[in-house]
């Protein structure tokens, strides 16, 4: 246990081969542990909040998780290949300075899902305590619960990867058993024929269905910037298929909390519809739960809040330390980001509409992160998985030059594909009553932002690679796949001060 509780000293520098003792199974536990939580159950309730039937909600969730998992799976390979996190690895395709795109996306994702975790877990804990022990549900008690969760998560993240892995080993099994216990709590009144308020024949059905699928997809996509944080401890010779299978299996397993949220939301809608009208799934769940299930709900809240929060916050602290390597250690950066996220949690919970904030933020994150992931994956394929890991660390070491210096540290091929595809995708977002882009009504109210942004990113990136070939030095002995190259020598590395 001392090995697990020792504070991690590694930042984003390449993990030495003799320190890489993690396995794809460990990656599975971290991904599943981070998503097998009450926050994911809350996401599973959104199809009902959008008015869908149980059947339509089930298909929306399965579709979203399946598509998101397939896009996510290759993102687990970069950590094992380069021994660093995905934002740093993205420097191979965006330039060693252009990697700040990945850092920015990971920051947004971490704040959103860390906040969702603390909000939902705190509400469930206080609600359960109110029913069990008569604890009043006030802004003060809710604030204390949020603060407790946030501090606990912060402590685990500061200790680092191995302690986080130990926490998630417990969380995976405990949360799964508690969610399965919910079958016995709600099997009797559950009705798979729940019809919802929006039928297939109504005009708003497809908008609600696509919106629910995008929210479900936001869960796997949210891991895209973080997988390298954990897979960097996996030996580089590990078969790629095993790593990708671990990622897909972990996301498939998240159907447990997703379906728990969907099934119980239909019961809340049937038995206590006032909670659905108020967008208060957690309060409705506690209102319809048998008294013996209050304690399991509280345990799910505590365990789930810990695992989701740690997987979100750890990677952001790691990445921020790499942007300011001379000012912040990994632990100091984690503490700074954690304190900022705690402030965001209190402002978001007590000053804004939680459900609208979460759903809007999640869809916007999917729209911006998905094209970044597509460019990374296409780059991986074009490069045939060949990277020069040492050259990726130029920015972290305060140097210039190397194979990924491109134009002063920026690769406008990757950036030139990501910026317009993300911007165009945002224009097609359609979340009625929350966020509708200027082109959001072109498809009769259906949100088509995802296929637009994915297709645009893929076409633009491959076109730019062919129009403006990258230097031969970024490729391995076998050369590129699908694109041309140009002859060039890599820029000589030098310290910034001497340049």
3-state secondary structure of 473: helix
Which range of 63-72, 127-136, 426-435 scores highest in mean pLDDT? It is 63-72
The pLDDT of residue 114: 74
Q: Per residue in 270-303, pLDDT tens?
A: 998 888 887 778 778 888 888 888 778 777 777 7
| Least confident window among 33-42, 176-185, 220-229, 313-322 | 313-322
| Least confident window among 311-315, 322-326, 400-404, 493-497 | 493-497
Task: Answer with the residue of higher pLDDT: 62 or 223.
Answer: 62
Look at residue 380 and tell me if it is in a domain.
no
Look at residue 397 and tell me if it is in a domain.
no
CATH of the domain at 241: 1.10.4160.10
201 contacts: CB under 8 Å, gap ≥ 6? none
Beta bridge partners of 400: 494
User: Taking 60 as the threshold, does the pLDDT of residue 6 lie above it?
Assistant: no
Q: What angle do CA 391, 394, 398 make, to 5 degrees?
A: 165
What does the DSSP assignment read for 419-431? Answer: HHHHHHHHHT-EE
- On whether the CB atoms of residues 15 and 80 are closer than 8 A, the answer is no
C-alpha distance from residue 165 to each of 27, 152, 355 (Å): 9, 15, 30
Pairing relation of β-strands 430-431 and 435-436? antiparallel
What does the DSSP assignment read for 325-370? Answer: TTT--HHHHHHHHHHHHHHHHHHHHHHS-HHHHHHHHHHHHHHHHH
User: Taking 90 as the threshold, does the pLDDT of residue 76 lie above it?
Assistant: yes
Q: Per residue in 15-72, pLDDT tens?
A: 888 888 889 998 998 888 778 877 788 889 999 988 999 999 999 999 999 999 999 9
Look at residue 385 and tell me if it is in a domain.
no
Question: What's the token pair of residue 411?
Answer: 């690769």
The pLDDT of residue 424: 95
Report which of 254, 316, 279, 272 is spatially closest to residue 433, judged by C-alpha positions.
279
Question: Residue 163: which domain range?
Answer: 11-354
Distance of CA 394 to the CA centre of its chain: 27
CA distance 47 to 58: 8
Look at residue 447 and tell me if it is in a domain.
no
Look at residue 489 and tell me if it is in a domain.
no
Looking at every residue in the chain, the average pLDDT score rounds to 82
Provide the domain count of the chain: 1
Place of tokens 């994911």: 40
Look at residue 335 and tell me if it is in a domain.
yes
- Taking the CB of residue 445, how many other CB atoms lie within 10 A of it? 17
CA distance 152 to 170: 15
The pLDDT of residue 457: 96
What does the DSSP assignment read for 122-146? Answer: HHHHHHHHHHHH-----HHHHHHHH
CA distance 450 to 421: 10
Look at residue 201 and tell me if it is in a domain.
yes
User: Taking 70 as the threshold, does the pLDDT of residue 200 lie above it?
Assistant: yes
The pLDDT of residue 492: 65
| Least confident window among 5-9, 177-181, 200-204, 214-218 | 5-9
Distance of CA 181 to the CA centre of its chain: 27
């Amino acid at each position: 246990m001392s090995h697990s509780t020792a504070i991690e000293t590694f930042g984003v520098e390449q993990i030495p081969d003799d320190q890489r003792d993690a396995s794809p199974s460990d990656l599975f536990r971290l991904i599943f542990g981070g998503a097998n939580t009450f926050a994911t159950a809350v996401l599973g309730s959104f199809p009902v909040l959008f008015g869908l039937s149980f059947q339509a909600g089930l298909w929306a969730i399965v579709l979203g998780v399946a598509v998101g998992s397939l896009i996510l799976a290759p993102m687990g390979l970069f950590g094992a290949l380069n021994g660093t996190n995905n934002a740093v690895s993205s420097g191979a395709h965006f330039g060693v300075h252009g990697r700040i795109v990945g850092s920015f996306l990971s920051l947004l994702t971490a704040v959103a899902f860390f906040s969702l975790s603390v909000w939902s877990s705190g509400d469930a804990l206080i609600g359960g305590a109110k029913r069990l022990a008569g604890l009043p549900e006030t802004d003060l008690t809710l604030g204390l619960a949020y603060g407790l969760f946030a501090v606990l998560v912060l402590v685990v993240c500061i200790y680092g990867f191995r302690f986080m892995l130990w926490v998630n080993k417990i969380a995976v099994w405990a949360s799964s058993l508690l969610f399965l216990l919910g079958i016995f709590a709600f099997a009797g009144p559950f009705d798979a024929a729940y019809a919802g308020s929006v039928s297939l024949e109504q005009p708003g059905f497809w908008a609600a269905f696509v919106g629910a699928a995008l929210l479900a997809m936001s869960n796997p996509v949210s891991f895209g910037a973080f997988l390298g944080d954990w897979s960097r401890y996996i030996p580089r010779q590990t078969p790629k298929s095993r790593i990708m299978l671990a990622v897909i299996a972990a996301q498939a397993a998240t159907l447990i909390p997703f379906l728990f949220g969907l099934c119980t939301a239909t019961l809340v809608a049937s038995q206590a519809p006032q909670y659905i009208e108020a967008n208060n799934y957690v309060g409705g769940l506690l209102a319809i739960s048998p008294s013996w299930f209050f304690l399991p709900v509280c345990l799910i809240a505590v365990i789930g809040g810990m695992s989701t929060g740690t997987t979100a916050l750890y990677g952001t602290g790691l990445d921020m330390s790499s942007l300011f390597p001379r000012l912040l250690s990994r632990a100091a950066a984690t503490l700074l980001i954690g304190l900022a996220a705690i402030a965001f949690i209190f402002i978001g919970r007590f000053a804004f509409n939680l459900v609208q904030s979460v759903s809007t933020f999640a869809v916007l994150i999917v729209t911006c992160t998905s094209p970044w992931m597509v460019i990374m994956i296409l780059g991986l394929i074009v490069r045939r998985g060949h990277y020069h890991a040492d050259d990726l660390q130029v920015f972290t070491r305060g140097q210039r030059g190397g194979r990924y210096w491109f134009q002063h540290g920026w690769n406008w091929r990757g950036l030139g594909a990501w910026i317009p595809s993300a911007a165009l995708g945002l224009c097609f977002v359609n979340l009625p009553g929350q966020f509708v882009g200027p082109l959001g009504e072109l498809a009769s109210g259906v949100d088509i932002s995802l296929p637009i942004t994915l297709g645009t990113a893929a076409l633009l990136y491959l076109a730019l690679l062919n129009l403006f070939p990258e230097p031969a030095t970024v490729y391995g002995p076998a050369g590129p796949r699908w694109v041309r190259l140009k002859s060039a020598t890599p820029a000589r590395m030098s310290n910034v001060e001497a340049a």
